[in-house]
């Protein structure tokens, strides 16, 4: 089979899975060449979170946790880069910008000295390997289990955030919404469809994320005695008020998730991807199909996304 034929025969979510893996590894190579661009850091973290969601769908909890931990290694650098972008948008003083730029340089040096980038590449190489084997019956059997678990978690997390709308419960809610959003994306692609639920979750996630970002910005501005500290505090208060209103606006979500088409077991296509570990197969194929190595499919990097991803 030619490469062109291979691409055509693959379902969309398999091609996207290969692309996500390619994005991570190429992004890491860029970082190893000292190109710590904001877009590269963001792409790596977003792709890691998407793979974490897919691995959890497939029941690979240890692999999912390893990928999540790997993404977390870049969290501080990403937050500092977003802070610098925020300061530029607010026309902050040169002194403030210079100080934050220095903090970013220090964090890049720390990551380099600790060998973070090669370690991150090893995690992706060892915990995420793609194959064309058909595993849909296994995934279909897991969908109701994962859906019911996520519905119960949503109810508990929403109850806690309603009872105590503080930063920690709201942070837990945001992480869960992000997980559900990415899993819904994967399942929608599995069925070859799109769903409004993904955009609704992203909107809410962005509100909560803005509150968390400004909380970090406020803390850093106070700690580093930045001139813009007072302005950040005012924006943080507005973001906090909006974030605290989120839980009561999500009472619809558990019921919608239960009836969401993407979370049903029926589907139109028959082929998907298999996630295996380098140490051996995790999911057994049910048909013989030729293997498509990740290097055979390396589409261009997607456009940079917003920090809400």
Q: Is residue 305 part of a domain?
A: no
Q: Is residue 225 part of a domain?
A: yes
Domain carrying residue 145: 8-282
Q: Is residue 88 part of a domain?
A: yes
What is the helix (H) or strand (E) element at residue 290, kind and residue range? none
pLDDT, one tens digit for every residue, the chain (309 residues): 444 444 445 666 777 788 888 888 988 988 888 766 788 899 899 999 999 998 898 888 999 999 999 999 999 999 999 999 999 999 999 999 999 999 999 999 999 999 999 999 999 999 887 665 545 666 777 889 999 999 999 999 999 999 999 999 999 999 999 999 999 998 888 777 778 899 999 999 999 999 999 999 999 999 999 999 999 999 999 999 999 999 999 999 999 999 888 898 654 433 344 443 444 333 333 233 223 233 322 333 333 334 445
Q: Looking at residue 262, what is its pLDDT? A: 86
Residue among 202, 283, 273, 250 at smallest CA distance from 19: 273
Residue 279 is classified by DSSP as: T
Residue 57 has a CB neighbour count (10 Å cut-off) of 20
Q: What values do phi and psi take at 266, rounded to 5?
A: -70, 150
Q: Looking at residue 130, what is its pLDDT? A: 64
Q: Is residue 142 part of a domain?
A: yes
Residue 138 has a CB neighbour count (10 Å cut-off) of 16
Return the CATH number at 246: 1.40.20.10
For the packed helices 61-72 and 116-127, what is the interaxial angle rounded to 10 degrees? 160
Give every CB contact of residue 74 below 8 A, 6+ residues apart in sequence.
Answer: 41, 44, 45, 111, 116, 120
Q: Is residue 294 part of a domain?
A: no
Cα distance from N-terminal residue to C-terminal residue, the chain: 36
Q: Is residue 25 part of a domain?
A: yes
Rounded to whole angstroms, what are the CA distances from 17 to 49, 128, 204, 227, 273? 12, 10, 25, 44, 8
Q: Is residue 300 part of a domain?
A: no
- Tally of domains within the chain: 1
Give every CB contact of residue 288 below 8 A, 6+ residues apart in sequence.
Answer: none
Give the separation between CA 54 and CA 62, rounded to whole angstroms: 12
- What stretches of the chain show up as alpha helix (H) in DSSP? 3-9, 12-32, 38-57, 61-72, 75-89, 94-113, 116-127, 136-163, 167-190, 196-223, 229-244, 253-259
Q: Is residue 2 part of a domain?
A: no
Q: Looking at residue 300, what is its pLDDT? A: 32
Q: Looking at residue 19, what is its pLDDT? A: 82
């Amino acid at each position: 089979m030619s490469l062109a034929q291979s691409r055509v025969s693959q379902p969309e979510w398999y091609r996207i899975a290969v692309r996500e893996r390619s994005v991570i590894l190429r992004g890491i190579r860029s970082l190893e060449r000292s190109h710590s661009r904001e877009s590269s850091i963001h792409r790596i973290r977003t792709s890691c979170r998407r793979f974490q969601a897919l691995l959890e769908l497939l029941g690979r909890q240890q692999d999912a946790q390893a990928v999540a931990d790997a993404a977390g290694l870049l969290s501080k650098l990403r937050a500092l880069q977003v802070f610098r972008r925020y300061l530029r948008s607010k026309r902050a003083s040169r002194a403030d910008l210079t100080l934050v730029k220095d903090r970013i340089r220090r964090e890049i040096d720390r990551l380099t000295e600790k060998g973070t980038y090669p370690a991150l590449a090893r995690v992706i190489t060892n915990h995420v390997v793609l194959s064309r084997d058909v595993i849909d019956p296994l995934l279909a059997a897991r969908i109701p289990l994962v859906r019911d678990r996520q519905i119960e978690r949503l109810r508990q997390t929403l109850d806690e955030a309603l009872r105590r709308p503080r930063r920690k419960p709201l942070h837990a809610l945001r992480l869960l919404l992000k997980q559900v959003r990415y899993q819904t994306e994967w399942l929608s692609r599995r069925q070859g469809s799109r769903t409004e639920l993904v955009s609704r979750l992203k909107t809410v996630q962005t509100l909560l994320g803005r509150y968390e970002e400004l909380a970090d910005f406020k803390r850093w501005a106070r700690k580093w005695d930045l001139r813009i500290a007072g302005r950040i505090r005012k924006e943080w208060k507005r973001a906090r008020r909006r974030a605290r209103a989120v839980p009561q606006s999500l009472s619809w979500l558990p019921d919608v998730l239960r009836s969401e088409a993407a979370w049903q077991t029926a589907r139109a296509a028959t082929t998907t991807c298999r996630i295996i570990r380098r140490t051996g197969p995790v999911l057994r194929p049910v048909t013989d199909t030729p293997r498509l190595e990740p290097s055979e499919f390396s589409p261009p990097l997607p456009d940079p996304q917003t920090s809400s991803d």
